[in-house]
Amino acid sequence: MKKNGHQLEHPQEEPLSGGLPRRDFVKYLLAGSAFSVAALNKLNAGIYQSITSLNQKYIEDISPDGAYWDEVRKLFLFEGQLIMMNNGTVGPMPKPVFNTLMKYFKVQVQNPYDVYNFLPGGKEGVRDKLAQFIHAASDEVSLTSNTTEGLNFVINGLDLKEGDEVLISNLEHPSALGPWKLKSKRCGVIVKEVKLSLPHKGVEEIVGAFAAAITPKTKIISVGHTVFITGLMTPIKELSKMAHEKGVLVLADSAHGLGMLSLNMKEMGMDFFASSPYKWLGAPTGIGLLFVRKEAQDKLWPTVVASGWDTTVGASKYDPAGQRADAMVYALGEAIDFINHIGKDRVERRIKALAAYLKQGLSKIPGVKINTPTDPYLSAGLTAFSVDGIECSKIVDYVREKYNLVVRTIGSRDAGTLAVRVSTPLYISTKEIDMLVEGVNALVKHKV
Ligand SMILES: Cc1ncc(COP(=O)(O)O)c(C=O)c1O
């Protein structure tokens, strides 16, 4: 990893910045009367009341900026003036989620008996809430630890035999590539790569490329939904329709999807969907979603089991067995409540409006190449760009040093995908995007 956190190949090494300084952290907890459960509940009720009044005051927000989002921004716990425009690896957590996390961790501190007596009961409520949030049935939702685990559960749990074919794109994340490589070595499955052109063209081209690669031996298409290298939002709905007509399953790697997009599993139609709600949704690191369509459940074996895997009906049989920090499950429920208070469609609109503003600003700079589509159906909160003659790492370092603004490098020179990747989450303002654009402009004009 290099100085300001840019690195070329390995997303798992992505740097982290921020966090509450110790002094402020203690102050924040003390503000909740030494972190009693009643005080934490009261803190959250106050926060939600303030969002409700903001919603009443600002029913329409045509412009992506303004008082509404300034207030929402204050509900995040950033250190100083940190401008966090990288939601890869992990994103930030808003206050109510942090409060809930503390509240439930406190149970283990004060009365561990309640960890197995009282906490497990509420977890099904979180599963229901998550199911509703993504338009799925509760028995299609498994609570995993992260996207990587969900992908492994699917790839490991399918009965595939020697000679069966899997289609992936040339833009997959190591968290999908690694398990497919293992499966291939272990079972003789053939992994075939479908090359997607850059710049991306459109729905037909993408779906057509996969359709053309299907043979009678193809069993599954495994594809990034939120493509981490280029920012493409793969048209999963159209892809699933085409694949299902040919009897092929679809696995979507949507590590960034939860909290960035207003998701509808029924409409998208894929069989398996893995996501990490701590990137864009504000949940704590270590809790994940694996959606398994009802019709696909008889094809998927669970992977990490104790007793009950053979009698449990529904996707909860895919939950990894063994103890876990239930506080994280509850905090996931709180993260969903937080986004629901703002409105998930409103969040998606804002994220896309900010991304469009960024692309507009960047496209005026000579030598800038944007790898992300402009079509809001094929793009959302991830934007990847490069500038002729300027190292991506230089841009990352410059804006970090000048504005305390965090973006990252992504992709590889050899594949022609090396770029600076920018996230435009709901708490970012157009002023901050202006800073980034100004920084890139300064580098181009003055070669600083
Ligand atoms: C497309 C994609 N898939 C998988 C992952 C791995 O996510 P996690 O480490 O949360 O499992 C990432 C990480 O950012 C990603 O961008």
| Domain boundary assignment for the chain | 121-336, 346-446
Work out the pLDDT band at 389, boundaries 50, 70, 90. Answer: very high
d(C-alpha 227, C-alpha 257), whole Å: 10
Task: Report DSSP state, residue 138.
Answer: G
Mutational pocket test of ligand 1: of 169, 170, 175, the residue with most ligand atoms within 8 Å of the beta carbon: 175
201 Cβ contact list (under 8 Å, min separation 6): none
Residues with CB under 6 A from ligand 1: 11, 88-89, 146-148, 173, 175, 224, 226, 228, 253, 255-256, 276
Mutational pocket test of ligand 1: of 148, 153, 168, 280, the residue with most ligand atoms within 8 Å of the beta carbon: 148
Separation of first and last alpha carbons in the chain: 23
d(C-alpha 134, C-alpha 2), whole Å: 37
Mutational pocket test of ligand 1: of 155, 276, 278, 279, the residue with most ligand atoms within 8 Å of the beta carbon: 276
List pLDDT tens digits, range 39-89.
888 889 999 999 988 888 887 665 556 788 999 999 999 988 999 999 999
447 has pLDDT over 80 = no
In DSSP terms, 385 is beta-bridged to 370, 420
φ/ψ region of 81 (left if φ > 0, alpha if ψ in -120 to 50, else beta) reads: alpha
- Give the residue whose CA is nearest to atom 12 of ligand 1: 255
- CA 279–ligand 1 middle distance (angstroms): 9
Query: Which amino acid type is present at position 442?
Result: A
Please, are residues 134 and 263 in contact by the beta-carbon 8 Å criterion? yes
10 has pLDDT over 60 = no
12 has pLDDT over 50 = no
Place domain 346-446 in its CATH homologous superfamily: Aspartate Aminotransferase, domain 1 (3.90.1150.10)
- Residue 216 class from Cβ within 10 Å (0-12 exposed, 13-18 middle, 19+ buried)? exposed
Question: Could you tell me which of 104, 69, 80 has the C-alpha nearest to residue 24?
Answer: 80
331 membership: H or E segment, kind and range = helix 326-342
Torsion, Cα of 226, 232, 237, 242 (10° steps): -120
CB atoms within 10 A of CB 273: 29
d(C-alpha 9, C-alpha 30), whole Å: 42
221 has pLDDT over 90 = yes
Helix (H, G, I), strand (E, B) or coil at 179: helix
Mutational pocket test of ligand 1: of 9, 153, 173, 275, the residue with most ligand atoms within 8 Å of the beta carbon: 173
pLDDT at 446: 84
- CA 317–ligand 1 middle distance (angstroms): 23
pLDDT at 42: 84
Question: What would the mean pLDDT of 414-419 be, rounded to a whole number?
Answer: 96
Question: What would the mean pLDDT of 90-113 be, rounded to a whole number?
Answer: 93
- CA 423–ligand 1 middle distance (angstroms): 14
Prediction pTM value = 0.91
Question: What would the mean pLDDT of 103-111 be, rounded to a whole number?
Answer: 89
Percent of residues, the chain, with pLDDT higher than 70 = 90
Average pLDDT over the chain reads: 91
pLDDT at 89: 95
pLDDT at 158: 98
CATH class of the 121-336 domain in this structure: alpha beta
d(C-alpha 352, C-alpha 346), whole Å: 10
Work out the pLDDT band at 119, boundaries 50, 70, 90. Answer: confident
pLDDT at 3: 35
Asked which of 111-125, 159-173, 307-321, 398-412 is least confident by mean pLDDT, the reply is 111-125
- CA 256–ligand 1 middle distance (angstroms): 7
Work out the pLDDT band at 435, boundaries 50, 70, 90. Answer: very high
Please, are residues 199 and 371 in contact by the beta-carbon 8 Å criterion? yes
- CA 59–ligand 1 middle distance (angstroms): 34
261 Cβ contact list (under 8 Å, min separation 6): 226, 233, 348, 380
